[in-house]
Each structure stands twice: as structure tokens, then as C-alpha cells.
Structure 1
Amino acid sequence: MDFSVLVGARVVDLSVTLSESLPGSWPGHAPFSHHNWNWFAEVDGPTGRTRSAAPYQTNAITIDEHCGTHFDAPTHFIPPPGSGLPHAGALGEESGEKVPLDDLMGSAVVVDVSFLSEGGEPGVSPFIEPEHIKDFERENGELRAGEVVLLRTGWDRHYVEGEAGLRYMHRSLVTGTFQGWPAPSPELAVYLDEKGVKTLGIDAPSIGSAHDGVPVHQEGLGRGMRYIELLTNLDRLPVRGAFFVFLPIKVAGSSGGPGRAVAFVPGA
């Protein structure tokens, strides 16, 4: 790609904000926490007197690898060779820090499947199928090898504080009282891989469905695909023309990790 086209481009932040009051933590996993460790001066707060060793501020965070906007490395679902487990293979040794950054960026194609986000069955995700992508291709041209496909479900509208934010994950996964987010079927992962698409992103809690999230992870990650989840603001991107970048934190032996996702929109 000619990176000169990015000069003067509009930068669109595609990352959700992390907060203890926002639904970015997967239910049942370690919840995100963010607490002050040192402040400029000692003051009384709701949990006692704030420590102050010197006049600066720093905070401590606890975060699951799959909290907030993050990516899945193959080791998230693919066991290592020699483990004797189903789906084990060489990709089970490709932890997060070993995934090439080139795989996490590229020309973006935004596929609008937001029509699937209404009227679904409680606790069940409607699948995004190959036929949905083929419909898109008939109108917008075929997907090309190396493009980053971003599935715009509109589910990020539920990423809010308070009671309404329980719709984002909790009521689909825990109580089963709200419809699941649209999610790609395993067949879609196969279709995209055969088209040469290596990286797939979504503005929903997971590439996996609310009711059966394992198969599409095993299918795609087992083929060396890269999944990026909990994106937002995909409605601010053109169907084609933006350049997508995701930069994860670099942790040895990780199964993926959180990071910052952005898109550059030339000529904006």
C-alpha cells in the first residue's frame, strides 16, 4: 500500500472505552478493575486515605486478555502440538506476541449486517452466513485477499453504563433474556479464509455466538485467521477506502490481548 495516502487522513477511533462501569469484561472472567496506586498528595477518599509517596499519579489495572477491544491469537482456542487434545497443532504455539503486526492491519471492507440485530431469539445469536457476504459482494465487488473484513452489527449501541448495558453481554450469556448479537457461522470463517481474508473484526462482544461460540473460533483460528472483537464506530467508515490498524499490547505467551484499533480515512 502507498502509505502517502494516509497523510491528512481522518483518524477514526474504533476502540471501546474501558471502565468498571462499562460491560467490557466477559461474564465469569476476571472483571476489569482500575484503582489509584499513588496520587499527588494524601487525601481522604471513599476507600480510605490515598497513598502518596511523591507528587505524581499512577493507577493499577487488572484486565483479562479478552477484555475490551482485543484480538484472539491462535492459542486462544488451538492447543499446542503434543497435548493430545482435539484441534491441537502448530498454531497452538503462536501466542499473541508472535502474531505478525502485518496481519492486524490492512485495507478495510465494512459489511453492514445490522439488520440481523433486531428481533432475535433470547440467548441465541443470528448467524452471519456466507450468503450474506455474497449479497454484499454482488453490490460492492468481491472481497480480495488481504483485505480486513469488519462486520458492522450495530451491537455497540448496547455498550453503555447502567441497566441498559446488561444487554451487551449479560442478558444474552448469563440470564438468556435478551437476543444474542449477530455472529459469523463456522461456514463463514471457511468462506472468508478461502477468499484470502486473514483478519476479521466485529463490533460485538465476540466472533463466537452467544449460544455456541466455540466452533467458529476453532475453525477460523485453526486456519490462522485473526479475530478482533469489541470494536465500535464502524458506522463512521466507508464501505471501502479506509485503512485499519490494530496494535495489541505485547505479552509473552498470551492468548491474545487488548489494544487500540483505529482506521485512517483518506481525503476526509
Structure 2
Amino acid sequence: MSRTPGGRVVDLSLTLAPELPASWPGALPFRHFVEHWFEEVADDAGIRLCGNNAPYRSHGLILDEHTGTHFDAPAHFLAHEDSGLPMAHPLGAITGDRVDPAQFIGPAAVIDITGLVGTAAPGRSPLITASVVRSWEDEHGEIAPGEIVLFRSGWDAHYVVGDRGAEYIRRPLERADTDAWPAPDVSAMEHLGARGVRCVGTDGASMGPAHDGAPTHVAGLSRGMVFVECLAGLDQLPTRGAQFIFLPVKVAHSAGGPGRAVAILP
């Protein structure tokens, strides 16, 4: 945690590394490699890896848009309205580069849903329903338009190197033999949309449930929301009072993209 004139800065982003479970199963695996180095480098077999005796270092990145802490634009699940596809929607034209960055900045309303973890069958996500959100509002006050709702489950504790890291995404999704992250259902998205929420974040691996992610995505994105997924460290934030900021990479025609998420605590 660092400090600025406006308050303390809390990093809410996952670290990307090939040995961490940063990539969605079936997507392009994350790669990070040296392109230039201060001197020529060879491996143990004497094969030249990089060099050019450059006076600097730089690395190459290969990654899927939805790797690590990232956002979903409406175009992620909505096709262009002229496409003729079943998922066609007017907001399908809103690609990542067309999302107003102001939509990623606002006061945070942190909803603790840690009690839901492990309450569903293996491979299925416990559902965050509208009634769960309303119960939170009964205690903490109604969610206001422009607030950024962050669902805190503590799921980022699974984001580790080794066998346990498979519990972050791969085992719940592919083998369905471990718990899956809690996720909002359609009713929750409808409720948040009615409240005027434009951005929703989660420390889960996806905003959608592991067993059926599309309906939740469509329900929120079709209401003009954006999602910030794979957050970390939400337990450092108060229920209210923090300012949330997410700044993604701006890529033309994208369906989303990685970025850095932080909160400012006054």
C-alpha cells in the first residue's frame, strides 16, 4: 500500500506470470519472454536466445484479452446489431476502446459474499441473487447510481503457483471436482441495472457462474455495464468510502482487456 496526496493507494490487481493461473482454459496461454537484453544470452545448450547487445531490456507478451485482472466490454457477449446473429444487440458495437474510461472510476460499494463460498455442488458457482444484494442494502443502505459494486469472496486466495492454483479456474471449470467462485445471477444484474450501476467487479475468476456464465454476462452487458474480473485484495477495502479506479489497455475492436485496478482510501 502506498500513499498519494489524495489518500492511501491499494493495489487490487493480480500479478501475471506463466506459472500462475492467469489464463482461461482454452484461451491463449500467457507468455512473457525476453526480446532484448544488455548482452547476448544463450541457454545451456548454447542456443542463442536473445541479445543484439542492446543498451536496454524489453520483453514480449502473448496473452488473451481476458487474462489476469481485466474488463469485459459489451462486445464480449453481444454481437453487432447488424450481424444477424442470435446475440445481436445495439450495444454490441461497444468494443473495449469505445468504453468511456469514466465508467471504471467511482465510489466502491463492497459486498461481502464470503459466506457463499463452498455452498454449491462442486463445479457450480454459488449464486449471488438479487435477494443477497437487497439484504446487503438493508444493512448498508441502497446502492446509488454511479457506485461501483465489488463482490468480495476471497477467491483470489486460490491464485497461487502449483497444484492449488488449479482450483482458481481449471478444476472447477474443466473437472468440476472442486468448489467454484460465487457469481451473480440474472436477477442480481437486473437489480443492479435498476439501481443505475454501470460497473461491477469481482475477485472471482469470472462474473458469470462456472456452470453457465453467458446469461449473467448478457444480462449485465446488455444494460450498458462493464465488468472488472479477477480482482484481488478486496478485503483491504471498507464497505464504503474507497474510490475505485481501473485503467485498461486501449485496444481497437477489443472485447475487453487487461489493466491495473486500484482503490484510494481517504
Does residue 245 (structure 1) correspond to residue 258 (structure 2)? The answer is no
Post-superposition shift, 1:117?
1.0
Report the counterpart of residue 3 of structure 1 in structure 2: none
Structure 1 SS opposite 2:91: helix
What's the secondary structure of 2:219's corresponding residue? helix
Q: Cα gap change, 1:59/1:46 in structure 2, threshold over 3 Å: closer, same or farther?
A: farther
Query: Alpha-carbon deviation of 1:18?
Result: 0.3
Correspondence for 1:43 among 36, 41, 44: 41
Partner Cα distance (2:62, 2:99) in 1: 23
Report the CA distance between 1:7 and its aligned residue.
2.6
Shift of 1:16: 0.1
Deviates more, 1:198-207 or 1:133-142: 133-142
Counterparts of residues 20-59 of structure 1 (less than 5 Å): 20-45=18-43, 48-53=47-52, 54-59=54-59
* Identical-pair percentage: 48
Correspondence 1:139-154 to 2 at 5 A: 139-154=139-154
Q: Counterpart of 2:216 in 1: which secondary structure?
A: helix
Deviation at 1:86, TM superposition (A): 1.8
CA distance in 2, matches of 1:71, 1:46: 40
> Residues 193, 32 of structure 1: CA spacing in aligned structure 2 closer, same or farther, 3 A cutoff?
same
Hey, what does 2:113 align to over in structure 1?
113
Which stretches in structure 2 are left out of the alignment for 5+ residues?
Answer: none
Measured after TM superposition, the shift of residue 43 of structure 1 is 2.5
Correspondence 1:9 to 2:7: yes
Classify the secondary structure of the residue corresponding to 2:190: helix
Give 1:56-205 correspondences, 5 Å limit. 56-205=56-205
- For 1:46 and 1:152, how far apart are their aligned partners in 2? 45
Quick one: distance in 1 between partners of 2:175 and 2:43? 35
CA distance in 2, matches of 1:45, 1:15: 32
Match of 2:36, as an amino acid? N
The offset of 1:50, in angstroms, is 3.0
Q: Shift of residue 124 of structure 1?
A: 0.5
- Partners of 1:209 and 1:172 in 2: how far apart? 10
Q: Check the 8 A contact 2:123/2:211 in 1, yes or no.
A: yes
* CA offset digits 1:141-161 (Å, max 9, x no partner): 111010000000111110000
TM-score using structure 2 length: 0.95
SS in 2 for 1:97: helix
Superposed displacement of residue 180, structure 1 = 1.2
Q: Is the 8 A contact 2:119 2:126 kept in 1?
A: no
Whole-angstrom distance in 1 between the partners of 2:177 and 2:146? 38
Secondary structure of the 1:50 match is: strand
CA RMSD of aligned residues (A): 1.2
Report runs of 4+ in structure 1 exceeding 6 Å deviation: none
More deviation in 117-126 or 204-213?
Answer: 117-126
> C-alpha distance in 2, partners of 1:20/1:132?
36
Say which SS state the counterpart of residue 235 (structure 2) adopts.
helix
> Is the partner of 1:174 in helix, strand or coil?
helix
Amino acid at match of 1:149: V
8 A Cα contact 1:87 1:222, kept in partner: no
Q: Is the 8 A contact 1:202 1:229 kept in 2?
A: yes
Distance 1:148 1:25 in 2: 25
User: Residue in 1 aligned with 2:261?
Assistant: 261
**CA deviation string 1:184-215 (max 9, x = no partner):** 00110000000111110000110011000000
Alignment gaps of 5+ in structure 1: 1-5
User: Is the contact made by 2:6 and 2:264 (CA closer than 8 Å) also made in structure 1?
Assistant: no
One-letter amino acid of the counterpart of residue 34, structure 2:
N
Deviation at 1:42, TM superposition (A): 1.3
User: d(CA) in 1 for partners of 2:21 and 2:71?
Assistant: 17
